[in-house]
């Protein structure tokens, strides 16, 4: 992540995907960051600390194209190059 005012990096890069990240979304309250990768997984992060939250969300057979949180932040919609959309409910607060 980067500081938009200075252009300087903030903290360390978020690592954990096996292939490039193609999609990112912040939860409505800003407490979660979802990253979707060409490896077919989605990971949840605490953007304040850079720590991973839980296990990867898996199920797609091809790369993730887009991720989006519901307005209440409790559901994450994930689309993939496999032609499917998965809804992940009860995303941790």
Is pLDDT above 70 for 25? yes
Is pLDDT above 90 for 31? yes
The two structure tokens encoding residue 62: 């091809």
The two structure tokens encoding residue 24: 């990112």
DSSP assignment letter at 72: T
Is pLDDT above 90 for 72? yes
- Mean pLDDT for the stretch of residues 26-33: 96
The two structure tokens encoding residue 4: 């938009």
Residue 74 CB neighbour total at 10 angstroms: 15
Residue 17 CB neighbour total at 10 angstroms: 19
pTM of model > 0.95: no
Distance CA 23, CA 16 (A): 14
């Amino acid at each position: 992540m980067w500081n938009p005012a200075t252009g300087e990096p903030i903290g360390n890069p978020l690592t954990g995907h096996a292939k490039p990240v193609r999609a990112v979304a912040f939860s409505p309250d800003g407490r979660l960051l979802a990253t979707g990768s060409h490896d077919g997984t989605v990971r949840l992060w605490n953007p304040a600390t850079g720590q991973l939250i839980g296990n990867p969300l898996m199920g797609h057979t091809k790369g993730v194209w887009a991720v989006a949180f519901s307005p209440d932040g409790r559901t994450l919609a994930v689309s993939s190059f496999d032609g499917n959309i998965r809804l992940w409910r009860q995303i941790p607060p």
